Amino acid sequence: MEKAMHGAHGISYEVYSMDHDARMEVERKREQDYIKSQRMVADLDRRVHS
């Protein structure tokens, strides 16, 4: 989990768990990535069913 956290977000899990601002930044990025992926899926779905 440590390697994944560091690779994906550039911070250690220890920093993530102890630093509220760092945690909020990671969660904002995760939410943006989720929204982006949902838009991509919707776009592909529209193309397939058109």
DSSP string, 1-50: -HHHHHHHHSS-HHHHHH-HHHHHHHHHHHHHHHHHHHHHHHHHHHHHT-
Q: Give residue 24's pLDDT.
A: 97
pLDDT band at residue 1, thresholds of 50, 70 and 90? confident
Inter-CA distances, 49 with 5, 7, 37, 41, 45, Å: 37, 36, 18, 12, 6
pLDDT band at residue 48, thresholds of 50, 70 and 90? very high
- Type of residue at 4: A
> Is pLDDT larger for residue 2 or for residue 11?
11
At 3-46, the pLDDT tens digits run 998 999 999 999 999 999 999 999 999 999 999 999 999 999 99
Q: Give residue 43's pLDDT.
A: 97
**Of 14, 19, 8, 32, nearest in space to 40 by CA:** 32
